Amino acid sequence: MVRETYLELLESVNHDLQDLSIMSCSALDKSMKYLESWDEKASEQLIKEDVHINEAFINLQEKCFQIIARQQPVAIDLRFLGSALTVANNLERCGDYSADIAKTVVLMKPRIVDGVGELKKMEGLAEEAIKLAVEGFTKRDLGSLEAVLELEKENDVYFGKLLDKLKKSAKVCKEPELLFRTAIVGRHLERFADRAVNISHRTAYVVTADRKYLK
């Protein structure tokens, strides 16, 4: 009975991570929709919703600390719980990126944005990478690592394309500030995908105990 309760606690951490992943990806999806619609009120609401992601992160932290203190896990379970804290932190930061995109959108106001196609492509790659990375972590599956790395590399390629397009636009653009803010949105999307790689490396550490994945 005690063992069953312990396993249920570990599984609840998986569920919480999945919920946090869904919240972070949903926030990103909303922020990018606002980029095209310039819905200032909706963007301001998304900034407030970031508070809920922060609360979910704090609650998950406390749960992991309590399990470690009360159950005294060892070996792979201890690595899992310790890494779950890191994974949760990465997901919370993804929520921050989404809120930052929303803040940037408010400042851009309803003006044509050069590079929307590249930004939307980066969004799709970043969300796919995060979902795949979190799924791999909750299942302790190393199989997703290479796929996440490839998605992150492709995301970087589109970020490069975005910057090249903005550089060309700078020669004729009368609003360089708009181009700068567009680049900031791209940077947040690039970091979003980087967080997915961090999560996948934590999966590899949990499964193999190889400390090289902590770098």
The pLDDT value given to residue 2: 64
**Largest distance between two CA atoms of the chain:** 70
pLDDT at 1: 47
Residue of 127, 135, 116, 130 lying closest to 181 (CA atoms): 116
Kindly list the domain boundaries of the chain, sorted by start residue: 2-214
The pLDDT of residue 194 is: 98
Pick the CATH number of 2-214 from 3.40.50.300, 3.40.309.10, 3.40.830.10, 1.20.58.220: 1.20.58.220
Report in angstroms the alpha-carbon separations of 33 from 40, 42, 102, 121, 205: 11, 10, 10, 13, 36
Is the whole model's pTM more than 0.85, yes or no? yes
Q: State residue 14's pLDDT score.
A: 96
Tell me the C-alpha distance between 16 and 169, whole Å. 43
Helix or strand run (H / E) with residue 100: helix 75-108
User: CB-based contacts of 8: which residues, under 8 Å, 6+ apart?
Assistant: none
72: left (phi over 0), alpha (psi -120 to 50) or beta: left
Q: How far apart are CA 73 and CA 142, in angstroms?
A: 22
* Exposed / middle / buried, residue 66 (Cβ in 10 Å: 0-12, 13-18, 19+): exposed
pLDDT the model gives residue 176: 84
Over the chain (215 residues), the average pLDDT of each successive run of 10 is 79 97 93 76 76 95 95 93 97 95 81 84 97 97 95 98 92 82 95 97 96 90
Show the tokens assigned to 209: 């105990």
Taking the chain, what is the end-to-end CA distance rounded to the nearest angstrom? 38
CB-based burial label for 89 (10 Å; 0-12, 13-18, 19+): middle
Q: What is the pLDDT of residue 177?
A: 85
